[in-house]
Amino acid sequence: MTQNSSINSFTPPTTIGFVGLGNMGYAMANRLAEAGYTVTVADLNQDAVKQFCAESGATAADSLQALGAQSDLVITMLPEGNAVRKVLLGEGDNVVSGLKDGAVLIDMSSCSPVDTRVLGEELLAQGFVMIDAPVSGGKYKAADGQLAIMAGGDLEIVERCRPVFEILGKLFHTGGPASGHAMKAMNNFLSAGTLALTAEAVITGSKFGLDPEVMVNIINASTGRSNSSEDKFPKFVLPKTFNSGFYLGLMAKDLRFAVDLAESENTPNGFINLLSGLYDKAEKDLGFEADNTELFNYLESLVESEE
C-alpha cells in the first residue's frame, strides 16, 4: 500500500474520523463539524458520543474498523500513547484494519515522543502515514479554535492537512516524525515549571505579609512574568476557582514524557526530574482529575503540614 500525497488537501466535506471526546476532543471535533466536515466519532464514553452526535449532527461509528473505512482522515485525541496504539493497531477491532489507501492519521494526543517514533514506523510499514500534532491551549482555546498545534512529520502531508488544522488553531511544523510530541513535552515542562515557581513565590511572599494580588500585578510588570502569572493566577488561582480545564494528572504524565525524552537524548535533566517528582506527588495527593492549577493548593498544604 502506498501513500499518495499529491492529491488535494483535506477540505470540507472530507470525512474525518475522530476518536476521543474528552474535554479537548469534544470541542475540537465540534469545530470540525461546524466547519462542514463529515465527522464520524468514537469514544469509550457512549453518553458523550450520543450527546455529541445529537448536538453536532455527527455520526457514531459502529466500530473502530468502520470508522477507519469511512474516513479519509482519522484524528486521535486520547489520554496517552497506549490508548492511541490500542485504537490504531490493537488486537481485534482497530482503525487501521479498516483504513483505506491514501488515508492519513493524525495523533493530537500528548504522547511520549520516544514511543511515537516506534508507532509511526510500524504504521508506515503498513502503508500509512501518521502526523503527530499535539496541541496547547486548554479547553477554552479548543472551543475558540485558538490552539497552538505542533505538527511533526512529512511537510507535504502536514500541508495537505492544513485546512483541518486551521479550523482548530495555529499550525507550526516542528520537523520530522515524533517532533511534535517532543515539542509538546518541552512546552509543558516549561508551563508546569512556571506554575510551580510562581506558586512558590506567591506562597512565600504571602507568608511574609505581601498581598498575593499585588504580587502578581508586580510580577506581570516585571521580569518574572510568564503565562502562569499572566493567565493562570488571575483567572484560576487568585479567585480560587481552579478550573483551567487541564487535569493535574495529564500534566504529571506530560512531565514523565519530558523525563523520558531527556534521558533518551542524554541531556541535562535536573530540573525536569525535580519537577516531575513534584507533580507526581501532587497527583497522588490531589488525584488525577484535580485541575493542574491546584498545584498551588498542594504546595500550600506543605507549608501547613510543617507548622
Could you report the per-residue pLDDT of 39-64, keeping only the tens digit for each? 999 999 999 999 999 999 999 999 99
What is the spatial distance between Cα 50 and Cα 60, in angstroms, rounded to a whole number? Answer: 8
**Integer Rg of the chain from CA:** 20
What is the spatial distance between Cα 286 and Cα 122, in angstroms, rounded to a whole number? Answer: 37
Residue 7: the pLDDT is: 54
- What does DSSP say about strands 73-76 and 104-107: parallel, antiparallel, or unpaired? parallel
HEC letters along 90-146: CCCCCCHHHCCCCCEEEECCCCCHHHHHHHHHHHHHCCCEEEECCEECHHHHHHHCC
What's the sign of the alpha-carbon dihedral 156, 107, 255, 139?
A: positive
DSSP 8: P
How far is the first Cα of the chain from the last one, in angstroms, to the nearest whole number?
Answer: 66
Is residue 184 annotated as part of the catalytic site, yes or no? yes
Average pLDDT over residues 133-156: 95
Q: Left if phi > 0, otherwise alpha if psi is -120 to 50, otherwise beta: which for 20?
A: left
- Does position 306 have pLDDT exceeding 80, yes or no? no
The count of residues in the chain is 307
* Exposed / middle / buried, residue 47 (Cβ in 10 Å: 0-12, 13-18, 19+): exposed
Best CA proximity match to 245, nearest among 143, 133, 134: 143
Average pLDDT over residues 125-152: 95
For residue range 190-218, list pLDDT tens digits in order.
Answer: 999 999 999 999 999 999 999 999 999 99
- Does position 291 have pLDDT exceeding 60, yes or no? yes
Residue 3: the pLDDT is: 44
Residue 139: the pLDDT is: 87
Residue 132: the pLDDT is: 98
- Does position 1 have pLDDT exceeding 90, yes or no? no
Q: What is the pTM of this model?
A: 0.91
- Does position 122 have pLDDT exceeding 90, yes or no? yes
Residue 4: the pLDDT is: 42
User: Annotated catalytic residue: which of 50, 100, 170, 184?
Assistant: 184
Task: For cell 448536538, name the residue.
Answer: 55
- Does position 239 have pLDDT exceeding 80, yes or no? yes
Residue 2: the pLDDT is: 38
What is the spatial distance between Cα 110 and Cα 88, in angstroms, rounded to a whole number? Answer: 15
Angle at 204 between CA 193 and CA 196, to 5 degrees: 10
Weakest mean pLDDT among 1-10, 63-72, 122-131, 288-297: 1-10
Average pLDDT over residues 113-127: 96
Average predicted confidence (pLDDT) for the chain: 95
For residue range 2-37, list pLDDT tens digits in order.
Answer: 344 445 789 999 999 999 999 899 999 999 999 999
CA distances from 155 to 6, 55, 122, 129, 237 (A): 12, 34, 19, 12, 40
